[in-house]
Amino acid sequence: MTLIEASLAARLHAHAPYSHFMVGAALEDVDGRVHTGCNVENATYGLSVCAERVAILKAISEGARKFVRIAIAADTASLTPPCGACRQILWEFCGDIEIILTNLHGATETLRLSGLYPRAFDASYL
């Protein structure tokens, strides 16, 4: 299964009863393992967690520490980039990784996180 296919499959597990906006993410670590995540909504919205953060937190909890790329899948005509909170978490744990955006129509775009998140805040400022 490719990283894009893994992100599309993860999307199907999303818990999105309020927005009906289902997102899947597949994060590849340096050892080639794939860690998936889907968005999980909560009635209070603020406690909802995005697919990208679920994938990263699962990977960290499983011992992974270095990552190569992430694929993010959503059912939108325009490819959906990570939100600001996810960009910060991605930068903190993954650095300037490759991001692959995809949708259900087969469109894809590949870019670096630094292109989405210039002048990111990290531990170097502390």
Which are the catalytic amino acids?
A: 52
Q: Which residues contact 56 (CB under 8 A, 6 or more apart)?
A: 27, 35, 37, 89, 90, 93, 94
- Looking at residue 45, the DSSP 8-state letter turns out to be S
Name the strands in the sheet holding 108-112, side by side, starting at the edge strand that comes first in the sequence: 34-38, 23-29, 67-74, 98-103, 108-112
- Report how far Cα 124 is from the mean position of its chain's Cα atoms: 23
Amino acid occupying residue 64: A
Amino acid occupying residue 31: D
